[in-house]
């Protein structure tokens, strides 16, 4: 079955430092999404990437989708305490059969030290 792996599992950064999490899929993806889950909360959608090599920015967050559509990254510039949470990537397998199953990675838990 499809597997989505994320590294690192945990990241502790000083406020103001940058942060990057990486996501790799065992299969080619039709699209990849990123979600953020605050402590005690539920996952909240951040962004979706569809095209090979796509790069999208949201303020201090930069998202990339690999050329082979099997990997992705999220980079946060100058972290703030409000960035604390777990960041999940989630992919839909490009099976051509119209599957809409979204497989989540295990997430990267970000802690920001003020």
Partner 1 sequence: DTGVSQNPRHKITKRGQNVTFRCDPISEHNRLYWYRQTLGQGPEFLTYFQNEAQLEKSRLLSDRFSAERPKGSFSTLEIQRTEQGDSAMYLCASSLGQGISGANVLTFGAGSRLTVL
Cα–Cα distance, 61 to 21 (Å, whole number): 11
What mask of x and - would describe binding to partner 1 in positions 38 to 57, judged by CB under 8 A? ---xxxxx--x-x-------
Is the separation of the CB atoms in 114 and 13 below 8 Å? no
Contact partners, residue 94, CB within 8 Å, separation at least 6: 27, 28, 29, 30, 69
Cα–Cα distance, 56 to 41 (Å, whole number): 25
Query: Looking at beta carbons only, is 76 or 107 nearer to partner 1?
Result: 107
- Tell whether residue 68 is a contact of partner 1 (CB under 8 A): no
Q: Which of 3, 67, 101, 113 binds partner 1 (CB under 8 A)?
A: 101
Q: Which of 72, 79, 107, 110 binds partner 1 (CB under 8 A)?
A: 107
What residues make contact with partner 1 under the rule CB under 8 A? 1, 4, 6, 30-31, 33, 35, 41-45, 48, 50, 88, 90, 92, 98-107, 109
């Amino acid at each position: 079955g499809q597997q989505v792996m994320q590294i690192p599992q945990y990241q502790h950064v000083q406020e103001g430092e940058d942060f990057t999490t990486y996501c790799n899929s065992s299969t080619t993806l039709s699209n990849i999404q990123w979600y953020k889950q605050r402590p005690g909360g539920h996952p909240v959608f951040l962004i979706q990437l569809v095209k090979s090599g796509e790069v999208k920015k949201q303020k201090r967050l930069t998202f990339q989708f690999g050329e082979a559509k099997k990997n992705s990254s999220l980079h946060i510039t100058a972290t703030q305490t409000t960035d604390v949470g777990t960041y999940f990537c989630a992919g839909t397998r490009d099976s051509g059969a119209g599957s809409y199953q979204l497989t989540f990675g295990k997430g990267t838990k970000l802690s920001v030290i003020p």
